[in-house]
Chain A
């Protein structure tokens, strides 16, 4: 299996991703959308996310997609293209964007599943193109020129990490 490369996102990448997610959220008439890395980290979101605890949602969605992928392989399938959870008031549509990211679409009573599936398919291609570009670009934090949108992180010392933990 190919390793997952580190993901580095700059201001301009996030603007493109956010524009794409907002358009999908609007056109799919969904309540909210999360874009999640396959290792479980939230990359970006759109829609009504204020009441959502997005960090564990992202982690659990990644776990769910990973389990679905493993189930598919056990059954001789390459993958299951999406996972759907159907609740009384809310529904979740999870799908893979290439091998790199997961799209979580939260549907409410105003959303239509067929519309969501159609729009997700359409926008997945666009998202996949963005991630292909990101994966081809070398990590340029310290190598590239530092700018307001690409500030170098600088040297990280053991004391920096110690300070994170305080006296704990």
Chain B
């Protein structure tokens, strides 16, 4: 749900990074936090367990500049990937303007990716969001590992609509900003249609 404040000339959008456990959602946000100028970002909030697994969500606010005189803010969230945090994942999708689905490219995680994508579609629907209409970008992460699924197989399994997708190695920052820019573009296009 975008929030346009004409009085303060601000546009606010909520972007959610979704995907199975340990796919690299938090790593994406950590890299963005590291690379963005201090003046353009707020604190990176991580509600995590003692073992640094996401417990509820990570949150990173970005205020990167203006578009047509409107301050443009992106609020980046991750969901907890572990299966038993399903209730939390559903809550975080509330009011999302766009989703980045981060897939783990490792062969043994194919089923986890498929399950997570189905879970995401279900939860979006539960929040009153049409999973076929919300801006969505896919990121195939961990491409540096030796045991990865070929891209065309990942595309068949996860991206039949051929939505924008990116290969990434989030731990090295590869593909992270490309993914963020892509979802930002789709979200802004959607926002423009509505205004």
Q: From known contacts A1-B128, A53-B43, A55-B42, infer whether A153 and B7 are also in contact, taking CB-CB under 8 Å.
A: no
Q: Are A151 and B195 in contact (CB under 8 A)?
A: no
Q: How many residues of B contact A (CB 8 A)?
A: 54
Residues of B within 8 A of A152 (CB): 195
Instruction: Report A's interface with B, CB cutoff 8 A.
Output: 1-11, 13-15, 37-41, 43, 53, 55-56, 59-60, 63, 66-67, 70, 139, 141-142, 149-156, 158, 160-165, 168
The answer, among A56, A60, A161, for a CB contact under 8 Å with B67, is A161
- Complex: how many Å from CA A40 to CA B2? 11
Which residue of the partner chain A has the closest CB to B178?
A165
Q: Give Cα A67–Cα B5 distance, bound, in whole angstroms.
A: 27
Instruction: Select which of A9, A37, A139 is within 8 A of B7 by beta carbon.
Output: A9
* CB atoms of B6 and A7 under 8 A apart: no
Given the known A-B contacts A142-B195, A152-B195, A165-B64, are A6 and B4 also in contact in the complex, defined by CB atoms under 8 Å? yes
B161: A residues at CB distance < 8 A: none
Total A-B contacts with CB atoms under 8 angstroms apart: 149
Dominant secondary structure of chain B at its interface with chain A: mixed
Q: Which B residues are closer than 8 A to A by beta carbons?
A: 1-9, 11-12, 14, 35-36, 42-43, 45, 47, 56-57, 59, 61, 64-65, 67-70, 72, 75, 77, 87-88, 90-92, 94-96, 126-129, 177, 180-181, 184-185, 188-189, 191-192, 194-195
By a CB distance below 8 angstroms, the chain A residues around B8 are: 14
B109 to chain A, nearest CB (A): 27
In the complex, are the beta carbons of A168 and B36 less than 8 A apart? yes
CA distance A155 to B68 in the complex (A): 8
Distance in angstroms between the alpha carbons of A150 and B106 in the assembled complex: 50
